[in-house]
Structure 1
Amino acid sequence: MASFLSNLLAGLTPPPHINPVQYDGIEYKWSIFVFRPALFQHELYLLAGVFVYIVFVTIGVSRNSSKVNKWHVIVPQFNAHRPILEKQFSKPLGKSGLTKDGYSDFFNFSTGRRNVMSLHTVFALQPRHDLFQWLYQFGRTLIDLHYRPKDDVTLDFKLSASALNQDFVWAVVAKDELLSIKEDRWDLEQTFTKTSENSNLPPTLSVMSEFADVTDNLLKPALVAALNDPKVLPYFRSLSVTDQPRIRPEAPLPASSRQKHVILSLSLPSDRVEDTGGLVSVVFPFIDALSTVNLRPETRTKLKKTREELDKTLKADADKEKKEELSQAAEDKKAAKRRAEEERIAKLPAAEQQKILEKERKRAMRKTQGKAVVRK
């Protein structure tokens, strides 16, 4: 054993470094110290790689912070959207300004406005600080034609109870976002909305609505003008009004937990950050006008029926899943009891084990005979 360990350690121990007697490269001497650069070629490559990685991280972090700060609130010389928030909210910023989660996700919380309980502004930027994740995203774009990583900013307005007394789902979506938004937003699936064109909007935009009556009430001239602005279109992704969660709930939501939101999703501009200011400004009067939405009685009836049927479906799915979980738990309990009994029998003497096996055999025979009598 000792010889095996010594051989193993000898194999793992690197050979001693031997300075060549003949060395004709560059050499630096100071006192008793000698440095020969030509002997450290591999270390030079390693240091170069570390240096490149540090530079990549530094530039990525700086660029992401700069993009967010230009759009939002921090850098005084830009202030593209800060005046809008300060005009609309009594508390436009959090106590510490933007909240940062890593180097690619930033958040801001605004509150203190009529018809709006809160505004969450969420920045989701590309991972410019993470070389390996950035390479993964770049490689995926070469394989998946529908995958296009972007710098996104989402303004999620949580409405107060009096802001909207109707329940519906409605959205204007850029056509090149239709596929991804249906995957990411359960409330904008075909369960609720149908996609259609609208002559008042640019051909690059589509309307997702439950009924035409909803669209007629929401597409007001100010919003139409903002959505037709050629400066906004390159950055516009979607504007939605919804009474449903974005992720499918596991069970029907109680009335106290239901919330209504207006959600504006944009691609974050790199330079001309003021181009999106007009649309952001229009969203506030758009929210104020929601309280005046007056749908036809038949439309309200259909909307209510859709939600009642959805609650029944969610409840049925939840009950089915609960039954399956209880059934699985019962099976697991039965299997655990059987294993415990087998372990107990295995510890008994051979004679006792034989008696138990014989007893089980007779019990099985009686069951078989009983089934045969029933069949007759």
Structure 2
Amino acid sequence: MASFLNIFSQITPPPFVTPEQYDGLEYRWKMFVFRPAYFQKEAILLGALLFYVAFFFIGRSINTKKVEKWVNVHEDLLKSQFSSPHVKGLVRDGSSDFFTFSTGRRNVASLHSIFRLRPYHDLLQTIYQVVYSFVDLQYNPRNDLQLDFKLLPSALPHDFVWAIVAKDEMKSIKDNRWDLTFTKTTENSALPSNMSVMSEFADVTESILKNTALLDALKDPKIAPYFRSLSVTDQPRERPTKLDSPEKHVILDLVCSSPSQAVDTTALVAALFPFIDSLSKINLRPETKTKLKKVRETFEKSLKVEAEQAKKEELDQAREDQKAAKRKAEDERVSKLSSAEQQKILERERKRSIRKTQGKTVRK
């Protein structure tokens, strides 16, 4: 008990001693006296806490207004295209990620609108992003918006990967989109100078770029600050580890605009719907179809080989684990025997080892 009291006395702060003279600011009310000079540290801590809380709510409000404004501006367009736009409304995941889901349109199984905004609500993450952008000049955090149209099987009869990419986004897109590794990057005179084409074969590009409405929307100068990429793909965005039924998507990646400029992207989004409808009319040369099919068959074969190898390694590891478990159980059993019995087992193991060695020598 005495030792406990001794420890308690050591961690107890010393009592506050009121100085005999105080000529600073003070507030009196009846028997109460408040002297601010004695609470400078507490005032700094309280101010920092209030600043952090205010930063959180202001940052969350900025992101929410940005997303809500974009959704409201494009709502009439989506209502005219989908029988069920925004099925569950605007879904929030934290304070920087938002989602909407639309369905009920010809050629489109669903539309996922995915907002991934900068964490303006998180002071530490915001400071990190600002500081790291000075350290790594290629690091450019943005407010991302992705419109992912999952197509119905009949909407795109061919299997290919194709994209238009803003040149300043080329490295970021290549790093994050495995499916675009199927393509080659080329220039095209029909596109603005700040955009490049990524396509598996030239006649895929020729057939797709016949859509003049899409080209006109891409040439609009108001689109340039927001456009990142537009892709048509039959492959997953991350490299698969097993064979799955292919899904075909049209994906538009944008920089989410500020609330005052949300209307700038409506023309491009509107052009996507006739563009999607035109995909079923694409005609490719027979040799192109053969090459596209061969590329996918080659990849599927390599995926099967990898899957078989992984399964073999898994089985080998399971056998090794089983052997190790048996050895451990045997060692535990032997350790409980008497010294004489352990000696007999060791002698038996030694003779067995000699016989195996002699057998190998004879076979040689």
Normalized per residue, which structure has more helix?
Answer: 2
Give 2:87's aligned residue.
94
Check 1:34–1:365 CA distance in 2 against 1; reply closer, same or farther (3 A cut): farther
Give 2:237's aligned residue.
246
Which secondary structure does the structure 2 equivalent of 1:147 belong to?
coil
Which secondary structure does the structure 2 equivalent of 1:225 belong to?
helix
Give 2:360's aligned residue.
371
Give 1:321's aligned residue.
310
State which of 215, 224, 232 in structure 1 corresponds to 2:205: 215
Tell me the alpha carbon deviations over residues 227-259 of structure 1, each in whole angstroms, 9 at most, x when there is no partner: 111111111000000111111111122xxx321
Distance 1:140 1:164 in 2: 42
Distance 1:333 1:203 in 2: 62
The answer to whether structure 1 residue 339 and structure 2 residue 331 are counterparts is: no
Q: 2:87 touches 2:103 (CA, 8 Å); kept in 1?
A: no
Give 1:71's aligned residue.
70
Give 1:311's aligned residue.
300
Instruction: Please tell me the residue identity of whatever aligns with 1:84.
Output: L
Q: How many residues align?
A: 362
After the TM superposition, which parts of structure 1 deviate over 6 Å for at least 4 consecutive aligned residues?
none
Give 2:78's aligned residue.
85
Q: Percent identity?
A: 60
State which of 351, 355, 362 in structure 2 corresponds to 1:362: 351
Tell me the alpha carbon deviations over residues 109-147 of structure 1, each in whole angstroms, 9 at most, x when there is no partner: 111111111111111100000111112222221222221
Give 1:56's aligned residue.
55
Which secondary structure does the structure 2 equivalent of 1:309 belong to?
helix
Check 1:342–1:15 CA distance in 2 against 1; reply closer, same or farther (3 A cut): farther
Please list, as runs of the form range in 1=range in 2, the aligned pairs for 1:5-24 lying within 5 A after superposition. 5-24=4-23
Q: 2:229 touches 2:254 (CA, 8 Å); kept in 1?
A: yes
Instruction: Please tell me the residue identity of whatever aligns with 1:86.
Output: K
Distance 1:4 1:369 in 2: 72
Distance 2:363 2:94 in 1: 71
State which of 193, 196, 202 in structure 1 corresponds to 2:183: 193
Give 1:261's aligned residue.
249
Give 1:105's aligned residue.
97
RMSD: 1.7
Tell me the alpha carbon deviations over residues 154-207 of structure 1, each in whole angstroms, 9 at most, x when there is no partner: 111111121111111100000111111111111111xx1111000111111010
Instruction: Please tell me the residue identity of whatever aligns with 1:127.
Output: P
Structure 1 residue 328, shift from structure 2 partner: 1.3
Instruction: Please tell me the residue identity of whatever aligns with 1:119.
Output: L
Instruction: Please tell me the residue identity of whatever aligns with 2:14.
Output: P
Give 1:235's aligned residue.
226
Structure 1 residue 72, shift from structure 2 partner: 1.2
Instruction: For structure 1, list consecutive stretches of 5 or more residues without a partner in the other structure.
Output: 74-79
Instruction: For structure 2, list consecutive stretches of 5 or more residues without a partner in the other structure.
Output: none
Give 2:196's aligned residue.
206
The answer to whether structure 1 residue 273 and structure 2 residue 266 are counterparts is: no
Give 2:25's aligned residue.
26
Q: 2:161 touches 2:233 (CA, 8 Å); kept in 1?
A: yes
Tell me the alpha carbon deviations over residues 294-333 of structure 1, each in whole angstroms, 9 at most, x when there is no partner: 1111111111111111110111111111111111121122
The alignment's TM-score, normalised by the length of structure 1, stands at 0.92
Instruction: Please tell me the residue identity of whatever aligns with 1:180.
Output: S
Which secondary structure does the structure 2 equivalent of 1:272 belong to?
helix
Check 1:372–1:23 CA distance in 2 against 1; reply closer, same or farther (3 A cut): farther
